Structure 1
Amino acid sequence: MEKAPIAWIPLGAIEWHGWHAPVGLDALTSSGLCKLAANDLGGVALPPLHYGAYASISSHPWTILLDQEDCDILLRLLLKTLSRLEELGVKHAVILTGHFAAVQGEILNDLKEAWESEWRAMKLIILNPDSCPNLPIAPDHGGLFETSLLKSLEPEMIDLSELSDEIIEETNPAGPQRRDPSHPLYGIIGADPRGLTESHCKEIREHLLTWMIDEVNAARS
Structure 2
Amino acid sequence: MTTPALDTQALTPQALTTQALAGQAWPDVPEQPLVLVPVGSIEQHGPHLPFDTDSAIAAAVAAGVAERSGGLVAPPLVYGNSGEHQSFPGTMSIGAEALRLVVVELVRSLATWAGRVVFVNAHGGNAPTLADAVKQLVGEGHDVAWVPCATEEVDLHAGHTETSLMLHIRPGDVRLERAAAGNTAPLAEILPAMMAGGVGAVSPNGVLGDPAGASAEHGRHVLEAMVDDVVRRLDR
How would you bin the TM-score normalised by the shorter chain? Answer: 0.7 to 0.9
Q: Distance in 1 between matches of 2:98 and 2:184?
A: 38
Where in structure 2 are the equivalents of 1:122-133 lying within 5 Å? 123-130=143-150
1:215 is the counterpart of 2:236: no
1:95 is the counterpart of 2:119: yes
Q: Distance in 1 between matches of 2:99 and 2:182?
A: 39
Note closer, same or farther for the CA distance 1:182–1:172 as it changes in structure 2 (3 Å cut): closer
By how many angstroms is 1:162 displaced?
2.3
Q: Which residue of 2 aligns with 1:201?
A: 219
1:21 is the counterpart of 2:49: yes
Give the secondary structure class of the aligned counterpart of 1:52.
Answer: coil
Where in structure 2 are the equivalents of 1:58-97 lying within 5 Å? 58-67=86-95, 71-88=96-113, 90-97=114-121
Match of 2:206 among 175, 184, 187: 187
Unaligned 5+ runs, structure 2: 1-28
Note closer, same or farther for the CA distance 1:140–1:4 as it changes in structure 2 (3 Å cut): farther
By how many angstroms is 1:182 displaced?
9.5
By how many angstroms is 1:159 displaced?
2.2
Aligned residues: 200
Q: Distance in 1 between matches of 2:45 and 2:141?
A: 40
By how many angstroms is 1:72 displaced?
1.8
By how many angstroms is 1:20 displaced?
1.1
1:144 is the counterpart of 2:160: yes
**Aligned partners of 2:168 and 2:217 also within 8 Å:** no
**Aligned partners of 1:23 and 1:62 also within 8 Å:** yes
Give the secondary structure class of the aligned counterpart of 1:53.
Answer: coil
Question: Normalising by structure 1, what TM-score?
Answer: 0.79
Question: Normalising by structure 2, what TM-score?
Answer: 0.74
By how many angstroms is 1:86 displaced?
1.1
Task: Give per-residue Cα distances to partners, 1:14-54, cap 9 Å, x unaligned.
Answer: 11111211111111110121122212211110111111113
By how many angstroms is 1:188 displaced?
0.8
The runs of 4+ residues in structure 1 deviating greater than 4 Å are 168-171, 173-178, 180-183
Give the residue type in structure 1 aligned to 2:185. N
Alpha carbon RMSD of aligned pairs, Å? 2.8
**Aligned partners of 2:44 and 2:50 also within 8 Å:** yes
Give the secondary structure class of the aligned counterpart of 2:111.
Answer: helix
Q: Distance in 1 between matches of 2:75 and 2:63?
A: 10
Q: Distance in 1 between matches of 2:93 and 2:34?
A: 28
Q: Distance in 2 between matches of 1:148 and 1:63?
A: 22
Q: Distance in 2 between matches of 1:145 and 1:128?
A: 15
Give the secondary structure class of the aligned counterpart of 1:33.
Answer: helix
Q: Percent identity?
A: 23
Q: Distance in 1 between matches of 2:110 and 2:42?
A: 25
Q: Distance in 2 between matches of 1:28 and 1:171?
A: 24
**Aligned partners of 2:64 and 2:227 also within 8 Å:** yes
